[in-house]
Amino acid sequence: MIKKALKIILKVVGGFLLLLLIIALVTYLFVNEPKPSGVSGDRAEKLADEMFAALNKPAYDTLKYVEFVFKGIHRYKWNKRNNQVFVSWGENEVFLDLNLNAGSYNEIETTAYEYFINDSFWLVAPFKVRDDGVIRFTLDVEKGRGLLVTYTSGGITPGDSYLWIIDENGFPKAWKLWTSNVPVGGLEFSWEKWEELGNVYFSTLHKNSVLDLDISALVVR
């Protein structure tokens, strides 16, 4: 009786895993996009300048403090001036000095650091398209103007690329991702629900057909 029940359970689990594998394969084959190529130079730099002006990067650069909650789970109090951040989730509370080499962090600090790098990028990525090691290209896209950026260094996954889709006012409408931690290339997320805080514009909602990523309790000063 027990053996029969186990066989049924294994059959159901095996069928479920097979279904997941088929879904993943179909997604990869039919949704996966190769990373596009673009042209570097004045046009790309002008588009980056336009985005900076629309969102007010000069004002962003003067911010001393940013506080936010990502997906209602990860909470951040970021001393931007001193490059330090307090990270909390569940019962965990971690203080990080971001001036230190990430290799010096212990296990829980490394987890907090990876959360912060990922989650804060969904908030401030438009202001980082001219960070050290970033290459910029422009290309034509159906929904607007395209600014492709590739991070050759920095962060936790160097080599990642993002295609910004920018509207006529210089605001990002969406981006597409080619990253090492996402097996499907070209996944698109919106940049919407813009809030103006400290004279700076921040997008607090990113979504596609299956996933919403929200940023709440945003405070800047």
Strands 172-178 and 84-89 come out as unpaired
Instruction: Work out how many domains the chain is built from and give that number.
Output: 2
Identify whether residues 80 and 12 lie together within a single domain.
Answer: no
Identify whether residues 61 and 39 lie together within a single domain.
Answer: yes
How far, in Å, CA of 130 to CA of 112, rounded? 25
Identify whether residues 44 and 27 lie together within a single domain.
Answer: no
Identify whether residues 40 and 24 lie together within a single domain.
Answer: no
Identify whether residues 27 and 84 lie together within a single domain.
Answer: no
Identify whether residues 2 and 62 lie together within a single domain.
Answer: no
Q: At 26, phi and psi to the nearest 5?
A: -65, -40
Q: Can you give the CATH number for the domain in which 159 is found?
A: 2.50.20
Identify whether residues 84 and 161 lie together within a single domain.
Answer: yes
Each residue's pLDDT tens digit, 155-212: 777 899 999 999 999 999 999 999 998 899 999 999 999 999 999 999 999 999 999 9
Identify whether residues 170 and 118 lie together within a single domain.
Answer: yes
Listed as ranges, residues in the chain with pLDDT below 50 are 4-30
Identify whether residues 78 and 177 lie together within a single domain.
Answer: yes
Amino acid at residue number 201: Y
Identify whether residues 10 and 106 lie together within a single domain.
Answer: no
Identify whether residues 27 and 39 lie together within a single domain.
Answer: no
- pLDDT the model gives residue 153: 86
Closest alpha carbon to 141 in 110, 119, 163, 118: 163
Token code pair at residue 143: 């929904």
The answer to whether the beta carbons of residues 216 and 72 sit under 8 Å apart is yes
- Containing structural domain, residue 129: 35-220
Contacts for 77 with CB less than 8 Å, ≥ 6 apart: 65, 67, 85, 86
